[in-house]
Amino acid sequence: MAEAQRVLGGRYLLKDKVGNGGMASVFRAQDQVLDRTVAVKIMLPQYAGDATFAARFKQEAQAAAGLQSPYIVGVYDWGKDGDTYYIVMEYLRGTDLKSGIRSHGALDPKKVAQIGSQICGALSVAHKHEIIHRDIKPQNIMVLPDGNIKVMDFGIARAKNSHLTQDNNVLGTAHYVSPEQTRGQDLGPTSDIYSLGVVMYECATGRVPFDGDDAISVALKQVNELPVPPSQVNPGVDPALERIILKCMEKDAANRFQTADELREVLNAYAAGRAVDVAEPTHVIAGAVPMGGMGGTETRVMGDATQAMIRPADGAPGSTAAGPRMGVPSPGTRNGNYEEPKKSNRGKIAAAVIGVIAVIAAIAIFASGLFGDSKMVTVPNVINYTKDEAEKTLEAAGFEVEYGTPVTDEEVEKGNVVDQTPDGNREAKEGSTVKLILSKGPEPTEQVEVPNLTNMTREEAESTLTSLNLKAQVHEEANEADEGKVFKQGTNTGEMVDEGSTIEIWVSTGPDTVDVPAITGYTEYDATAALDKAGLAYKVAYDYSDSVGSGLVISYNPGGNVAPGTVIEIVVSQGPKPVEKVNAPYYVGESAATAARDLKALGFAVTIQGPADGVVTAQSASGSLNKGASITLTTQAANSGGDGEGTESGED
């Protein structure tokens, strides 16, 4: 694959593609500066040339880079290489939550709470930066090998103060969008909380609360229908967790948990086994007027009634209407069944007609609110137009124009359009307003003078650069300079550079020496291997030793710190020195003086018993003997037949 051979930004070597998204492809890559594996998201070619999408892609990188949390995928860098925009992110090993649910089905309730709590941790950080994720779904939750999670993909995230709008085709997966997101309303933190509620519902039951043949039908259910309580799908879901999930999924955002921190506190309490005080959820949707004989999902007339969502009684799955409740006795009931007051047939017919009219009106009102009934025309794309050109073009197409707060932009010329709402080439109502954002041009960059960093410690140099709004890139290298001191810098002292620039510095690790490994007692093989690994040469000699086993190192020289490549002399034991064998002649009948002299010369210890100048009558040992062995000569006087008297040592 040609793409996989590229090096982006002169730094990131693409290895292999690991995924595709709606706007980008993701590659595993090697950061050649920091020598680490990273994930690189590259905008797809069809979007790279679109100024609106390019602005959104840059915004994603800038927004995500500012989010620091153990539960958010880290963003390290972003840039443009030729016509391609890219984002460099933390590379994760694991599986997405959607795949986990498909493999294992419903999760343990405590695990559901743990996952929900960690997602809250990520959302809390994003929301405090005024960033709404907008696409919380299991596919964007990565489960790591240790069981913790990280939230991914801020591809359609949008800061509250940003005027960039999402592509109409990228509204987030319909199964997880909030009712207000479906209606195209402004979104706040509670929209992400609704989506998280749907994710927890799916974790707890193994299925999504609303499904349909297409995205529109699912989105309509998000607005119109109440979810079947999770315990109806999975009896293992207890009431406390069910109340938490359904409170997150309130149709009216005001009835949900209002912050991720609030929800996280409740989930942590539940996971710890503490009691949680979460009331039965309430829903403000169309008023509960069951259509007799209609069957299926209840249709509700638009109204202001607030209804309590009740856990259905056994045998009444899906029952959610409030007081009187289906399957729950109330005043005026008999045998647990609600009795309608007696009415004439005329009253029943009138009520049915009114009900049908109300339903039709509700559908018409909702449809007109969702899809509109005005003439729809294509919005011209005026990105990079001058203010006057943009106004003339939009007014000629039948649109009103208003302006938002100008923003800085590195690529769009000052005074030109950097963003528009709705996006260009999308349909909008004729006569509606298009909001334009003009560019203030690139952010003016201040310049600073590079200081002299040599002889500073690493900490001093980094602190000095930080105080000047500069960054340090540190290299450690052996040098004659004191250990820990800067001995070289990449940018000359006194040179003027832009604020935010990176200055390379080299810090000494001390003189270029090698520590000789302690190899006494090593085998010759292990000793030479250790010296090879340390970058040292060696010379081997052999000697006898009574204390060191054969083949083991007796000694080495030199030791301590030496220059790389130094020759280390090793002495290896040959074991104890072998004893020399010597032939001892037989001297019986010969002169004792001659015998003693000759045997001493051969290295034997000689003892004479008898006259030293006599004749040898007996010899204690002869033949092949160990050199240094003791030999005793017995003698008698010459020309005497008897035994000699006295004893004389043959030793000098």
Q: Do residues 117 and 267 make contact, with C-beta atoms less than 8 angstroms apart?
A: yes
Q: How far apart are CA 174 and CA 181, in angstroms?
A: 10
- CB contact set of 263 (below 8 Å; sequence gap of 6+): 116, 120, 193, 196, 244, 248, 257
| Distance from C-alpha of 8 to C-alpha of 504, rounded to nearest angstrom | 21
Q: What is the largest CA-CA distance in the chain?
A: 170
Query: Would you say 584 and 625 are in contact if contact means Cβ atoms under 8 Å apart?
Result: yes
* Strands of 416-536, DSSP E: 417-421, 427-429, 433-438, 447-449, 471-477, 486-489, 496-498, 502-508, 514-515
Tokens of 154: 């801020």
Residue 483, φ and ψ in degrees, nearest 5: -60, 135
Q: Taking each helix axis from N to C terminus, what angle separates 189-205 and 109-128, rounded to the nearest 10 degrees?
A: 160
Cα angle 96, 102, 106; round to 5: 105
Residues present in the chain in total: 652
Residue 527's contacts (CB-CB under 8 Å, 6 or more residues apart) are 519, 538, 553, 556, 570
Locus of tokens 């987030």: 172
Say whether 192 is catalytic: no
User: Which tokens hold the place of 580?
Assistant: 């020399």
- As a whole number of angstroms, the distance between CA 582 and CA 630 comes to 12
User: CB count, 10 Å around CB of 221?
Assistant: 20
Cα gap 193→204, rounded to integer Å = 16
Which residue(s) pair with 437 in the sheet?
419
- Cα–Cα distance, 248 to 193 (Å, whole number): 6
Asked whether residue 41 is marked as a ligand-binding residue, the answer is yes
> Exposed (0-12), middle (13-18) or buried (19+): which is 440, by Cβ within 10 Å?
middle
| Strand-strand pairing, 615-619 and 630-636 | antiparallel
The backbone torsions φ and ψ at residue 386, rounded to the nearest 5 degrees and listed phi first, read -70, 165
In 3D space, the residue among 21, 20, 8 whose CA is nearest the CA of residue 155 turns out to be 21
CA distance 367 to 80: 42
Distance, in Å, from the CA atom of 485 to the CA atom of 510, rounded to the nearest integer, reads: 9
3-state secondary structure of 16: strand
Residues near 599 by Cβ (< 8 Å), separated by ≥ 6? 584, 585, 587, 606, 631, 633, 650
> Distance (Å, rounded) from C-alpha 388 to C-alpha 415?
10
Q: Which of 135, 409, 419, 423 is catalytic?
A: 135
> How far apart are alpha carbons 470 and 449 in whole angstroms?
10
Cα gap 522→533, rounded to integer Å = 15
| Residue indicated by tokens 């559908």 | 363
State the binding site: 41
Question: Among all residues, which ones are annotated catalytic?
Answer: 135
Annotated binding site for ATP: 41
